[in-house]
Structure 1
Amino acid sequence: MRTQDAGHRAAAVAAIADRDYRRAGDEYTRAGWRVLSDPREGIDPFDADEKGWVGDGLGYLATGAVCYRVASLETRATRRGVEGVAVAEDLTNGLDHPVQHACLKEFAADFRTVAGLDGADGAYRAAETAYEDAASAVDSPQTWGTTPLFEAAATVLQQVARGPADGEIAIPWADLHGTDPDDPGRFLAQRAVVKRQRFPGLVERAVDDGFLAAPRGTTEYDTDHHRCPHCGSTDVNWVAESVLCLRCSHPTAETN
C-alpha cells in the first residue's frame, strides 16, 4: 500500500484516458488534498517522517495543475500552483531533515513551473543550493532519492515527459541524478538542474499539444491479447485500475 487517496488517483487516470483533463485535474486535486490530510495509516502529515509519504499529495496537486493547463483552465492552474508552493513551504515544519527541505524547495519550483508562475528558474537554483548545503547530513543519496517524497517529485516530470516520447520513459531515474553518489550534494542537486533545463519546455509542449500522457505503470510490449482501437498499438500500460495503450494513453481493447 502506498498512500490513501480514496481512489481519486485512479479516477484521474481514467479521466486522462478519456481526454477529460478538467475532470482529471479535479480528481488529482482531490487525491492531493486527501493524502495531505491523512497520508497513510499511522502517519501524521505534520510530523517528521523519514520517508516523506506526504509527498504523494504534493505530486498529485502538481499533476492536477498540469491537467488544468492542458484543459486551458489557466486560472485554476494558477491557484493550484500558488497553493502548492505554500504547502511545500509549510511542510518544512514537519519533515525535519535538511535534504527533505531541499526536496520541498524542488517541489516549490515544480509548482511554479506547472502553473506557469514567475520565478521557477530562481526557485530551482535555490533547490540546487539547498541540496549542496545538505550534503554533510546525507550518507546515501541513492536511498533518499528513492523515498516516497523524492519519487513523488520525480513522477510529475516523468509523466509529462512521456507524451513527446511515445509513451516511453524519457527521463529515467539515472538521468535525473548525478553520476557520483560520493558527492551527495551534487548527486541530488542534479535533479533541480535537469528540471530547470527541461521541465518548463515539456509542460509547454503538453499545453500546446493538448495532451498529457497517463502515468506509467506495469507495461507489456507486442501483446497478442490487446490492441488499441485508436492507434493500433499492441503495447499495454496497466496503471491505477486502467488498461491503457502505452503509446497514446487511450483505453486499449482485448482481442480475445
Structure 2
Amino acid sequence: MNTDDGGHYDAAVDALAAREYERAGNRYTRGGRRVLADPRPEIDPFEPDEKGWVGQGLQQLLAAAVAYRVAGADGRATRRAAEGIAATRDLESVLTESGQVACLAEFVADFRVAGGLDGADEAYDDAAARYAAAGEEVDSPQALATTPLFEAAAATIKQVARGQADGEIAIKWEDLHGADPDRPGDFLAHRARFKRQRFAGLVERAVDDGHLAAPRGTTEYNNDNHRCPNCGSNHVNWAGTGILCLRCSTPTKRV
C-alpha cells in the first residue's frame, strides 16, 4: 500500500492468514476509514487528485465487506458495503474527471456485490455507460488504468480470484481491459462488463469455501527455506507482516 493506513492493511492480511475473517474485516475497515480521512500527507481527500489515492481507502472497505461475508457476518458485510457506497458517492463531487467518475461507479457496483445488495448488474451497466461516454476525454486509457484509483478498484476481484486458482494470478490485465486502447471508452468499459460476469460468482464461491486468500505480494517459487505446514508447498508470498504460502495463504515455517 502507498497510503498511510496505520498498519491496519497488514494486520488484516495477517488475520486472513490465520483464517480469522471477521477480524480481517475489522482491520480492513479501520484501514479504509483512516485512508479515506488522510490518504497521504500531501493529499486532501476533499480536493481533486489526478491519481485518486483515496481509492485505496475504498478498496479496504470493499475487502472488509468480502471478509465479513466469508466469516458469515452478512449483516456487517451489508453495512460495510452501504458505508462504502456512501463514501464513493460523496467522492463523486471531488474526483470529477469523467474517467474517475466512471471508476467510482465501478466501485459502487463492486460494493453491491460484496455486500449482497440488489442492483449490482444495473450498477455495472451504469459504470460501463459512464466509461463509454468518457472515452473522448481520456487521452491514455492505459495510463489512467494504472493510477491508484483504478488499481484499487481492480485489487479485490483479483484477491478473491486467486484463492480459487491455487494462489496464482487468476485475473490479468487483458482480462479486465478491452483489446484496443485506441478506443478508450470500450477499453475501460470492459472492466465493468467483466466484473458483471465474474465478481458475484467469485464472491459466492469464496463464501461457500469459507476462504479468502491473502493478496498477492512479492512471490518466490521453490524457496528452500520455507515450507507450508498446511499443504507442503515451498512457493511463498510476502504479504502482511510475514511469509505466507503462495498456494493457500497459510503462514510458512522455516526449514
TM-score, length-normalised on structure 2?
0.99
CA distance in 1, matches of 2:125, 2:66: 22
Shift of 1:86: 1.1
Partner of 1:231: 231
Aligned residue runs from structure 1 range 103-252, under 5 A: 103-252=103-252
* Deviation string, structure 1 residues 49-84 (Cα, Å, up to 9, x no partner): 000000000000000000000000010000011111
CA distance in 2, matches of 1:173, 1:254: 34
Is the 8 Å Cα contact of residues 10 and 242 (structure 1) preserved in structure 2? Answer: no
* Deviation string, structure 1 residues 76-115 (Cα, Å, up to 9, x no partner): 0000111111111110111120000000000000000011
CA distance in 1, matches of 2:173, 2:215: 15
Shift of 1:209: 0.4
Aligned pairs, how many? 255
* Deviation string, structure 1 residues 129-175 (Cα, Å, up to 9, x no partner): 00000011100000000000000000010000011101011001221
Long gaps (5+) in structure 2: none
Q: Secondary structure of the residue that 2:230 maps to in structure 1?
A: coil
**1:179 aligned partner, one-letter code:** A
**2:117 aligned partner, one-letter code:** L
CA distance in 2, matches of 1:63, 1:9: 10
Partner of 1:17: 17
**2:43 aligned partner, one-letter code:** I
Query: Which structure 1 residue ranges, 4+ long, deviate > 4 Å from structure 2?
Result: none
* Deviation string, structure 1 residues 201-228 (Cα, Å, up to 9, x no partner): 0000000000000000000001111110
**1:132 aligned partner, one-letter code:** A
CA distance in 2, matches of 1:43, 1:211: 35
Partner of 2:56: 56
Is the 8 Å Cα contact of residues 132 and 186 (structure 1) preserved in structure 2? Answer: yes
Is the 8 Å Cα contact of residues 12 and 240 (structure 2) preserved in structure 1? Answer: no
Is the 8 Å Cα contact of residues 242 and 251 (structure 1) preserved in structure 2? Answer: yes
RMSD: 0.7
CA distance in 2, matches of 1:5, 1:14: 15
**2:85 aligned partner, one-letter code:** V
**1:65 aligned partner, one-letter code:** A
* Deviation string, structure 1 residues 6-45 (Cα, Å, up to 9, x no partner): 0000100000000000100000000000000000111011
Is the 8 Å Cα contact of residues 99 and 131 (structure 1) preserved in structure 2? Answer: yes
CA distance in 1, matches of 2:97, 2:9: 28
CA distance in 1, matches of 2:222, 2:155: 25
Partner of 1:76: 76
CA distance in 2, matches of 1:117, 1:137: 32
Q: Secondary structure of the residue that 1:237 maps to in structure 2?
A: strand
